[in-house]
Amino acid sequence: MSQVVFRNLAVGYGGHPVLEDVNLELMQGRFTCILGPNGSGKTTLLKTLAHLLPALGGVVEIGGRELSGFKPLELAREMSVVLTDRVQLESATCFEVAAMGRSPHTGFFGVLTQGDRDFVMDCLEKCSAGYLADKPFQQTSEGEKQKVLIARGLAQNPNVFILDEPTSHLDIKYKLEVLSTLKKLCAGEGKTVVCTLHEPELAVKCSDYLVLVRDGEIPQWGPTRQMVESGTLSSLYGLGPHQLDMLVGTAEFQGPDQKDFFLIGSDAGSVPLLRSLVSAGKGIGAGVLHENDFCCRLARSMKGQVVSAPPYTPIGPEKQQEAFDLAMGYSHILLAQFPDCDITRGNRELVRRLQEAGREILPAQSFSLSEIL
């Protein structure tokens, strides 16, 4: 069921649209990530949904009701928001900060009942921030602050939970912690979570839906799995076609176009080997690699030329020829240590032919870049 619907929405500041003609549906109990390069308008979109910016056109509907029809307090009970604004409180404890989220539910003077207190404490614990309750908010780390602010949002007990870049400035440990908390909220409590993320490689691993924003429009959106398979994410950020490997969820540094090192086959040491070659500024290539081999994807995201074979199939003569022609163009050829079996036999044959053609084959395992240079 769709919980939030955008219809022909235009968003922007001071009458200037940043993003136009937005038509989206956010599903209830699902985790939607909005991805896009800096300045693409994803935060503007989020702030319009949060009713912090007026829509320049079109409508936003929440649970079938128009956003502008909500009274402020009604909206605060339906939806809560975690922003990137710095929160500065000299002497409040983390519990007090989280408890502020109860304010749409408390009476005129905002007195907390024991029920409210327990609810806030539960929210802190869901964000694995229970241990922070008595600590002064100002003395906690950025990651801890973020967890407390998310607990504050939860204390509002919303159906729709909106977060603007909840993982920026956090260590990887906290990034993962925050995202797994959000996932649990969707799966466990049926909350509809929408957030912008700066890390596409994390978004593909945690979200149910992806919304791509670029150049004032939404080129694509849909279930994360479809989006990953379509392979359009790398170009979203203006990267090389394979540089951002969304299936694996990794972005790699790219080597130059020159043909320096060609790797035959792969072994356990091939990943760090390829990375060290690229970081030394060398162009790489590889073959014949099976498509389900991580090195095959890695070499491609490093802009290497790769001859690949379908998973778990013997390397045929055409592939072997293709790899032979490619390898001959490289200055150095390296050989990984792979076991002999039906599906690798083609690579042994490739090595033999290259040696016959007078090429020196270096063992990849004992290879040292400094000796070559």
Partner 1 sequence: MNKKPQTAAHDRVRDSGGAAKNRIALVLVLSVALLGVCAVLAIGIGSVYIPPGKVVEALFSPAAAGSTEQIIITNMRLTRVIASIFGGGALALSGLLLQILFQNPIADPYVLGISSGARLFVGLVMLGGLTLGFHTSSPWFLFLGALAGALTVMGIVLLFALRMKSVVTLLIVGTMLGYLCTALVNLLVAFSDDHAIADFTRWGMGSFGLMTWAQIQVLVLVCSVIFLLSFLLTKSLNSLMLGEAYAKTMGVNTRQLRMVMILFSGVLTGVVTAFAGPVAFIGMSVPHICRLLLKTEDNRFLLPAVILVGGVFGLVCDLIARTVASPGELSVGTITSFVGVPIVLFLLVKKNKVSL
Q: Is 288 in the site for partner 1 (CB under 8 A)?
A: no
Q: How many residues does the structure list for the chain?
A: 373
> CA nearest 369: which of 278, 233, 238?
278
Q: Is 85 in the site for partner 1 (CB under 8 A)?
A: yes
Which of 19, 42, 46, 96 is close enough to bind partner 1 by CB under 8 A? Answer: 96
Q: Which is nearer to partner 1, 152 or 290 (CB)?
A: 152
What amino acid occupies position 321? Q
Q: How far apart are CA 245 and CA 312, in angstroms?
A: 21
Closest distance to partner 1 from the beta carbon of 126 (Å):
12
Q: Is 133 in the site for partner 1 (CB under 8 A)?
A: yes
Which of 118, 171, 229, 325 is close enough to bind partner 1 by CB under 8 A? Answer: 118
Do 120 and 102 contact (CB within 8 A), yes or no?
A: yes
The answer for residues whose C-beta is within 8 angstroms of residue 188's C-beta and 6 or more apart is none
Using the structure block, give the residue that is written with the tokens 């909005």: 34
Which of 38, 108, 366, 373 is close enough to bind partner 1 by CB under 8 A? Answer: 108
Two tokens at 163?
């977060």
213: helix, strand or coil: strand
- Going through 36-101 in order, the beta strands assigned E by DSSP cover 57-62, 65-66, 79-82
Which of 24, 97, 218, 333 is close enough to bind partner 1 by CB under 8 A? Answer: 97
Do 328 and 359 contact (CB within 8 A), yes or no?
A: yes
Q: Which is nearer to partner 1, 181 or 270 (CB)?
A: 181
Q: Which is nearer to partner 1, 124 or 315 (CB)?
A: 124
Which of 130, 216, 223, 269 is close enough to bind partner 1 by CB under 8 A? Answer: 130
Q: What distance lies between CA 93 and its chain's CA centroid?
A: 32
User: Which residues pair with residue 12 across a beta bridge?
Assistant: 17
Closest distance to partner 1 from the beta carbon of 251 (Å):
30
Do 13 and 44 contact (CB within 8 A), yes or no?
A: yes
Q: Which stretch binds partner 1 (CB under 8 A): 61-69, 110-118, 330-338, 339-347?
A: 110-118
The answer for residues whose C-beta is within 8 angstroms of residue 364's C-beta and 6 or more apart is 263, 267, 269, 270, 273, 334, 335, 336, 337
Pairing of strands 217-223, 209-214: antiparallel
How many amino acids of this chain bind partner 1 (CB under 8 A)? 47
Which of 114, 366, 368, 370 is close enough to bind partner 1 by CB under 8 A? Answer: 114
Which of 17, 57, 63, 104 is close enough to bind partner 1 by CB under 8 A? Answer: 104
The kind and range of the H/E element at 55 are: none
Which of 18, 19, 83, 170 is close enough to bind partner 1 by CB under 8 A? Answer: 83
Q: Which stretch binds partner 1 (CB under 8 A): 19-27, 109-117, 201-209, 219-227?
A: 109-117
Q: Angle 305-306-311 (CA atoms, 0-180°, nearest 5)?
A: 160
Q: How far apart are CA 363 and CA 205, in angstroms?
A: 36
Positions in 27-56 near partner 1 (CB under 8 A): 50-52
Q: Is 14 in the site for partner 1 (CB under 8 A)?
A: no
Q: Which is nearer to partner 1, 30 or 152 (CB)?
A: 152
Closest distance to partner 1 from the beta carbon of 67 (Å):
12
Closest distance to partner 1 from the beta carbon of 91 (Å):
5
Q: How far apart are CA 78 and CA 70, in angstroms?
A: 9
The contact mask relative to partner 1 for 53-82 (x = CB under 8 A, - = no) is -------------------xxxxxx-xxx-
Q: Which stretch binds partner 1 (CB under 8 A): 91-99, 179-187, 199-207, 332-340?
A: 91-99
Q: How far apart are CA 315 and CA 79, in angstroms?
A: 56
Two tokens at 190?
């049926």
Q: Is 144 in the site for partner 1 (CB under 8 A)?
A: no
Q: How far apart are CA 286 and CA 322, in angstroms?
A: 11
Q: Is 161 in the site for partner 1 (CB under 8 A)?
A: no
Instruction: State the residues that interact with partner 1 by CB under 8 A.
Output: 50-52, 72-77, 79-81, 83, 85-93, 95-97, 100-101, 103-104, 106, 108-110, 114-115, 117-119, 121, 124-125, 130-131, 133-134, 152, 156
